Amino acid sequence: MPNIPDADLELPAYSAHVNPRADPQVAHSFRLMKDNHPTLTVVLSSRAETADSTPVLNQMQTLAGTITLDLSEGLHVRSVTVEVIGEIRKVYAIHRFLTMRRELYTVETGGHHESLPTETADSPPRGKARLTGRHSWSYSLKLPKGVSIPWDGGSRNFRLPPTFADTRNSFTIDYHLLVRVKTGFLSSGYRLACPFLYVLRQKPSLPSLLHQIAKLQGLAIPGPEEDSDGWRTLPSVEMTGMLFSSRLVAVTCKLSIPLPLCYTRGTTVPIHLVLKSTDGQALDLLCSHALRVVLIRTISYTERDAKYAAIGVGVYGPEESHADEMAFPQFTVVSGEGGNPATSSRVLRGTLAVPEDLVPGFRILNYTIEYSIAIYPFEAAGFSPSAPRGNLSFSLTFRLPR
C-alpha cells in the first residue's frame, strides 16, 4: 500500500527547566606535560559527577576556571588565549559552527582582556615578554543559546546542538575548550584542548488539563475520545493482507499520542491505538503479537550548495539519510468486540519507554536529527501483508526536550 507522509506538525514551545537547588560543581584538571612537569594546567568547573569524568556543561552555562603556566626556565610568551569551539565532524569534512575567543595575556597589555575579570595577583607584569616561574589567569565564557550563521546573503539562527556521536557513520558533534600559548615567532608554543559534553536541559510544556488531573489522582489518562485536546491523532490508515492464505482482510489503524509532542528522556509515553475490521478473527490474531510500532531516529545530511559558501565549510558528500529503531512500545487490549459483527474493533493502550541516553533532536547547518513514532505492516504467522516487509505505513514526528 502507498506510504502516507509525515504529518505537518505545529510543534510546541519549550520552557526552560530551572532547578531551585544549584547542582554541585567539580573541578576538572587538564595538563600538558614537559619533562614530567606540568607546564600548562587548565582547570574547568562543571556539573559532572566526578572530577575524573568528562566535564558536562548545560545550556547557557558559563565555562569558568583557571589557566596556569609553570615555567622552570624563562620563556618568551607573546600571548595566552582561550577559545570555546563547537564542530561537526564527518569523514570528509569538519564544520565549525561555534568559536568564542578571549585573550588573557599579551606582551603589550600584560594582563587579561578588558572584557574578562581583572588579572590575578600572580599574573605577569605588563610588557615583560620573558616569563619565569608560575603564572595563572582566570577565565569565564558564557555559552550562548544559539549561533547566527551566514545564509543566502543574510543569516540564520540555530540552537546549539548537544554533543553527539554516531560511530557507525563517523558523524560527531564535539565541543572543547582550547588554550593557546604563543611563544617566539619560530616556536609552535603550547596548545591544550579540553573536551566537554554539552547537554540540553529543558522540559516540555504541560499536557492537557484532563491529563494533569488524571495523573494527580492516580487515574488512567483519558483517551482521545474523552480528551480530544490532549492528543494528536493521525488519519486512519488501512492495511490489507491474506489471512491463512485463504481470504483477503483489511484492518484500519488509528494511532494517537499525547500532546505536546515533546517527551522527556527516561519517562514513558502513553500510546492509543484503535484497530477496526469486518473480520474479528483477523483482529484477534493481529492484536496479539503482530503489532509493529517503533520509535525511530532519523539522521540526515544534505549536500553542500551555495548557501554554505559564505562560511567556508569543507566539501560535503552526497545526500545521506538513515534511520534507526530505538524503542518498541508494549500494548494491552483494553476493549473490543468479539465474533464477527458488521464492524469489529479493538482499542489498545501502550507505553513507550523513551531511552535515557537519546540525544534531543536538532538542526544545524545541513545536519538534522529527528524522532518519530511509526507503525509498520503487521507481522504474524498466518498473515501475509500486502505491503512489503519494512514498508512504513505512517509516522508521527515529535521532539525530545531540548
Percent of the residues in the chain that have a pLDDT greater than 70, as a whole number: 78
Whether the predicted pLDDT of 361 surpasses 50: yes
Whether the predicted pLDDT of 9 surpasses 80: no
pLDDT of residue 343: 56
pLDDT of residue 329: 85
Q: Could you tell me the pTM of the whole model?
A: 0.76
Whether the predicted pLDDT of 313 surpasses 60: no
Higher pLDDT, 4 or 125: 125
How far apart (Å, rounded) are the C-alpha atoms in residues 138 and 247?
A: 77
Average pLDDT on 257-268 reads 88
Going by their DSSP bridges, the two strands 56-58 and 190-199 should be labelled as parallel
Whether the predicted pLDDT of 366 surpasses 60: yes
pLDDT of residue 237: 86
How big is the CA angle at 158 (ends 146 and 150), to the nearest 5 degrees? Answer: 105
How far apart (Å, rounded) are the C-alpha atoms in residues 222 and 255?
A: 15
Whether the predicted pLDDT of 186 surpasses 70: no
Average pLDDT on 311-339 reads 68
pLDDT digits (tens, 9 = 90+) for 29-88: 999 998 888 899 999 999 898 999 999 998 889 999 999 999 888 788 889 999 999 999
Percent of the residues in the chain that have a pLDDT greater than 90, as a whole number: 32
Whether the predicted pLDDT of 15 surpasses 70: no
pLDDT of residue 258: 92
Biggest CA pair distance of the chain: 94
Give me the residues paired with residue 325 across strands: 296
Please check whether residue 155 is in contact with residue 142, taking contact to mean a CB–CB distance below 8 angstroms.
no
Candidate from 161-175, 314-328, 354-368 with smallest mean pLDDT = 314-328
How far apart (Å, rounded) are the C-alpha atoms in residues 133 and 68?
A: 10
Average pLDDT on 232-261 reads 89
Candidate from 15-24, 69-78, 387-396 with smallest mean pLDDT = 15-24
pLDDT of residue 171: 83
Give me the residues paired with residue 268 across strands: 353
Higher pLDDT, 222 or 292: 222
Please check whether residue 78 is in contact with residue 107, taking contact to mean a CB–CB distance below 8 angstroms.
yes
Average pLDDT on 134-156 reads 88
pLDDT of residue 72: 82
**Of 205-214, 291-300, 374-383, which one has max mean pLDDT?**
205-214
How far apart (Å, rounded) are the C-alpha atoms in residues 238 and 1?
A: 8
Please check whether residue 196 is in contact with residue 55, taking contact to mean a CB–CB distance below 8 angstroms.
yes
pLDDT of residue 304: 53
- Secondary structure of the chain: what % helix, strand, coil (to 5)? 5, 50, 40
Q: Residue 295 is inside which H or E element, if any? A: strand 293-301
pLDDT of residue 323: 84
pLDDT of residue 200: 83
What does DSSP assign to residue 387?
S
How far apart (Å, rounded) are the C-alpha atoms in residues 390 and 396?
A: 16
Grid coordinates in use for 206?
A: 504541560
